[in-house]
Chain A
Amino acid sequence: MKAKVLYLITMVCILAAGCAQETTMIDTMHDEGKAVMALDYRDFDMAASKMVQSMLASGALKKADGGRYVVATGRIVNDTTQRIDTDQLMVKIETEILNSGQAVMTSAIGSGSDELLHETRELRDSEEFDPNTAAKRQTLIAPELTISGKIFQRSIRYDRNTQQIEYYFQLKLSDVKSGLRFWQDETLIGKRGSNRSVSWQ
């Protein structure tokens, strides 16, 4: 009797293991997976690629004297129903701005600021640190341009069974001194799918 029960349990375990959904790695280079209603990495890749190309083509980052602009990242508002870390978009854009050779990003101020930059400046008066190795006063460079933007969504009932979700990515590049806007663009990603799919996570 005991052997029979053991045999049954073993068989059930083997069968259950066979039914489990196998975990696979996503081929992010050539992902042929179906589109989803929520924003996924492909949407951020696409939006970032379009935005960077638009910004570079506009010539807004080309400084007249041939130098490089100092750019700070401002607030990127997430006005969608999803919990989005806006760095998912901005890190790609900042990387491309840096690599373009036309501008440098600042970590001293803005949403991409590094707290340690300010903390290390407090070490000037510490007796534990050599004051000559601490950052001097008035050495931080102020930004000349800022990037800010917004990601928002509109959900529309398409028909009885279908919903349409429009995601808008908007970015603008402004000059700090004059307040003038040098560049701005918008990328729309639209999705249509079942009413039962959820776009919030």
Chain B
Amino acid sequence: MSLVGNIERQLVWDRLLAIVEDQAQTLMRTAFSPVVREAGDLSAGVFSTKGEMLAQAITGTPGHVNAMARSVPNFLAEVPISKMKEGDVLLTNDPWLATGHLNDFTLVTPTFLNGEVVALFASTSHIADVGGRGFGPDANEVYEEGIQIPITYLFKQGQVQSELLRLIRANVRDPVVAEGDLYSLTACNNVGAEKLIDTMNEFQLNDLSNISDMILNTSRVAMHQEIQKLQDGTYRYDMTVDGYDQPVQVVCALTIIGDRIVIDFTGTSGVSRYGINVPLPYCEAYASFGVRCLIGNDIPNNAGSLAPIEVVAPAGCILNAEPPCAVSARHTLGQMLPDVVIGCLSQVLPDEVPCEGASCIWNPVLMSDSTASMNFNAPEFVINPIFNGGTGARVHKDGLSTTAFPSGVRTTSTEVNEITSPLVFLRREYLKDSGGAGKHRGGLGQIIEIAHTHKAPFVLSKMFERVQHPARGRSGGLDGAVGRVYLKEGEEYSGKGKEWIPAGATLVFETPGGGGWGDPTSRTESMIRADVESDLVSQD
């Protein structure tokens, strides 16, 4: 080889990034849960034998990825590398050991070369139903939220653990989907493992230790350098969010010390009686994403680039909720954390950070009411569509209308929602005037109207944010519109909990708009004209 070794290591690194992308694509294509297959609510990555994340698929959602990054060491603590055998597959859905609620199953598969473990592939997907009360924030303890599987074997030396599958099947509402998704996770890790072995053979590698060191060191050093460019100091930002029965104060102090960042949530409200509590790994995941999407955002996400960021949340606060707190809808709070971190960073990088946005995805669970279905002769169904509000205005341009941020999911097609349920989506379009005004306007939310084609009653599980507390504008920009949930016939609902939608009624959602940036009177004539012409903004 006349080429310097570094370039060869870059080639292997690039290959790892391509392999985890294939892993994620396989997961999406084979998944059963609609939010995974249609919306990409998943994550996939490859890990060193020490449990360090080396590469992650861009496909996926940050809450999963960064939390999964922290979960692999938990698997290794339970089953050390020396005990792993070829064909083993481990799994758990423990919210504190993996990605924050029982719906997320994380699978870890050791990859063997010449009888030795050379890497681990991990993947997470959201399984539609895990029993209990169903996906929603109404439980008071995790025990009510469904079946909980500690770290255990799904496959042992290639043999599926059928007793475990029987147990899972017996505890969930849609056993076919749950089992199908576990197979899909297994398949995607296998695809990753096969390709890794091909790559190692091609480059004549017996292990990944040199490559791992290079990836992690290069990424860590680059991230340190990026942080070093920023002004040292402690930057504070608070945000009040709706919560379930009472508002939650999120209090944050972000400290830049040399080449490190510490994000401290001391002062944040205590745990809730309902399922909006956040386990620490999930809090770390979204808080660190708030940094990573702005600082060194072209450095691949891995254990090295995440290392310079430390997240602190005192035990007992809602962002470090311990068992047996209910955590099912932990995303409603978790997805607000990047806005808080970005609020702190707005003091260091005033020209680069966006305003607050809708942030939390609006993913209602819509399902049949079993007894009412019998009376109205309407089919049983459950769908979990995803709708988004507007993102915050950027300093140099408008926010994005109806776009997921920080979540990485996609929406689901209206036609597909209608073919898989007896619901009809009478309206789904931009909501005029919902973006916060400013020199640059916040992204718009949307309005959705839903009715039952048989005029039967149905059930709604709500886990929405920014119904009471809007996305705030910055530098003179105005707040975005708050979200709303109501019946066209008149009744107004809160943002969380379960409702029975009466027979023949039309349910309406309005997703929140993003906050605006800068004085609205300084918006250019042409931008105002374009908005009015498109009927996105009223004429005044």
The answer to whether A binds B is no
Binding site for B on A (CB under 8 A): none
